């Protein structure tokens, strides 16, 4: 099997579909999959859920997909530098799930390993914990 492709669009051929979830790497604009983001934008897929540390900035990184309204939901730990993100969120066009950075990283790792869930202390005692099972490990509460 050859895993080398001449371009990002070829690498994504047959994989993209409306409504899918994409986990995008990088921190800020460093280490982001720029060519893949461009190929996703060019594909025209829509209603995407994107799990990423941040939502890019206006016109750069994941901000490109927000500008073209291809993103329906963002799962992020930081979103503070994107005016289009802010506009869409405040107008109800974009669903947002804030997730602490360490929890987001673990969710991505666990999901990639086929682990359907894990416990974390981050949300204990907050609205996030309401209605969720609380477990005690070594005397500490986890949800």
User: How do residues 13-42 score in pLDDT, each as one tens digit?
Assistant: 999 999 999 999 988 889 999 999 999 999
32 in Cβ contact with 8 (< 8 Å): no
List all residues 6 or more positions away from 134 whose beta carbon is below 8 Å from its beta carbon: 124, 141, 142, 143
Is the per-residue pLDDT at 2 higher than 90? no
pTM value? 0.87
The CATH number given to 8-98 is: 3.40.1080.10
pLDDT 10s digits, 55-94: 999 999 999 999 999 999 999 999 888 999 999 999 999 9
What is the spatial distance between Cα 133 and Cα 140, in angstroms, rounded to a whole number? 14
Q: Give the per-residue pLDDT at 136.
A: 92
SS3 63: helix
Residue ranges per domain, the chain? 8-98
List all residues 6 or more positions away from 37 whose beta carbon is below 8 Å from its beta carbon: 24, 61, 62, 64, 65
Chain-wide mean pLDDT for the chain?
A: 93
Question: Judging by DSSP bridges, how do beta strands 135-137 and 71-76 pair with one another?
Answer: unpaired
> Looking at per-residue confidence, does 75 or 119 come out higher?
75
């Amino acid at each position: 099997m050859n895993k080398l492709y001449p371009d990002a669009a070829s690498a994504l051929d047959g994989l993209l579909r409306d409504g899918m979830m994409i986990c995008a790497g990088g921190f800020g604009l460093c280490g982001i999959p720029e060519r893949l983001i461009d190929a996703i934008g060019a594909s025209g897929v829509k209603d995407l859920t994107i799990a990423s540390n941040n939502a890019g900035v206006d016109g750069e990184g994941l901000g490109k997909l927000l500008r073209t309204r291809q993103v329906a939901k963002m799962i992020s730990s930081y979103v503070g530098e994107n005016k289009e993100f802010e506009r869409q969120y405040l107008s109800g066009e974009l669903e947002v799930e804030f997730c602490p950075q360490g929890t987001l990283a673990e969710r991505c790792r666990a999901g990639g390993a086929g682990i359907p869930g894990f416990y974390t202390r981050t949300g204990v005692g907050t609205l996030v914990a309401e209605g969720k099972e609380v477990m005690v490990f070594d005397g500490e509460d986890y949800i």
